[in-house]
Amino acid sequence: MKRRVCVVVTARPSYARIRTALAAIAAHPELELQLVVGASALLDRYGNTVKVIEEEGFRVDRKVFMIVEGENPVTSAKSTGLGLAELSTIFDDLQPHVVVTIADRFETIATAIAAAYLNIPLAHVQGGEITGSIDEKVRHAVTKFADVHFVASRPAAERVVRLGERRDRVFVTGCPSIDLAREALARGPLAADAALRWGGVGARVDLAAPYLVVLQHPVTTEWERARMHVEETLRAVDELGLPTLWFWPNVDSGSDGTARGIRAYRERHAVSNVHFFKNVPPEDFIRLLAGARCIVGNSSVAIRECSWLGVPAVNVGGRQAGRDRGANVIDVAYDHAAILGAIRRWTDGPRPPRGEIYGDGNAGRRMADLLARVPLDFEKRLTFEGEG
Cβ proximity to a copy of itself, 179 vs 231, nearer residue:
231
Q: Which is nearest to 277 in space by CA: 216, 208, 340?
A: 216
Give the footprint of a copy of itself on residues 153-212 (CB under 8 A): 159, 162-164, 201
Query: Taking contact as CB under 8 A, which single stretch among the options 23-31, 68-76, 172-180, 230-238 is the one that binds a copy of itself?
Result: 68-76
CA distance 49 to 250: 11
DSSP, collapsed to helix, strand or coil, labels residue 15 as: helix
Cβ proximity to a copy of itself, 267 vs 348, nearer residue:
267
Q: Is 353 in the site for a copy of itself (CB under 8 A)?
A: no
Cβ proximity to a copy of itself, 373 vs 381, nearer residue:
381
CB of 34 to a copy of itself, least distance (A): 14
Query: Taking contact as CB under 8 A, which single stretch among the options 172-180, 236-244, 365-373, 376-384 is the one that binds a copy of itself?
Result: 376-384
Q: How many residues belong to the site for a copy of itself (CB under 8 A)?
A: 72
CA distance 331 to 353: 17
Q: Which helix or strand (DSSP H or E) is residue 50 part of? A: helix 49-55
State which of residues 32, 54, 136, 335 lies at the interface with a copy of itself (CB under 8 A): 136
CB of 216 closer than 8 Å to CB of 297: yes
Q: Is 142 in the site for a copy of itself (CB under 8 A)?
A: yes
Cα–chain center distance at 180: 13
State which of residues 30, 56, 94, 132 lies at the interface with a copy of itself (CB under 8 A): 132
State which of residues 56, 88, 185, 239 lies at the interface with a copy of itself (CB under 8 A): 88
Site string for a copy of itself, 280-319 (x = CB under 8 A): ----------------------------------------
Cβ proximity to a copy of itself, 118 vs 203, nearer residue:
118
Residue 88's identity, in one-letter code, is S
Tell me the sheet residues that pair with 214: 246, 296
Give the footprint of a copy of itself on residues 3-62 (CB under 8 A): 42-45, 62
CA distance 37 to 34: 10
CB of 163 closer than 8 Å to CB of 146: no
Cβ proximity to a copy of itself, 20 vs 320, nearer residue:
320
Cβ proximity to a copy of itself, 121 vs 361, nearer residue:
121
State which of residues 119, 270, 348, 375 lies at the interface with a copy of itself (CB under 8 A): 119
Cβ proximity to a copy of itself, 116 vs 123, nearer residue:
116
* Count, residues in the chain: 388
Alpha-carbon dihedral angle through residues 182, 185, 186, 187, given to the nearest 10 degrees: 130
Cβ proximity to a copy of itself, 80 vs 244, nearer residue:
80
Q: Is 73 in the site for a copy of itself (CB under 8 A)?
A: yes
State which of residues 21, 25, 82, 237 lies at the interface with a copy of itself (CB under 8 A): 82
One-character DSSP codes across 136-204: HHHHHHHHHH-SEEEESSHHHHHHHHHTT--GGGEEE---HHHHHHHHHHHT-PPPTTGGGGG--EE--
Across the beta sheet with 244-247, what order do the strands follow?
201-202, 274-277, 244-247, 212-215, 294-297, 313-316, 329-332
CB of 115 to a copy of itself, least distance (A): 9
Query: Taking contact as CB under 8 A, which single stretch among the options 15-23, 179-187, 249-257, 296-304 is the one that binds a copy of itself?
Result: 249-257
Burial of 315 (0-12, 13-18, 19+ CB in 10 A): buried
Cβ proximity to a copy of itself, 196 vs 209, nearer residue:
196
CB of 172 to a copy of itself, least distance (A): 18
CB of 190 closer than 8 Å to CB of 292: no
Give the footprint of a copy of itself on residues 252-281 (CB under 8 A): 253, 256, 260, 267
CA distance 30 to 369: 9
CB of 313 closer than 8 Å to CB of 282: no
State which of residues 114, 181, 236, 240 lies at the interface with a copy of itself (CB under 8 A): 114
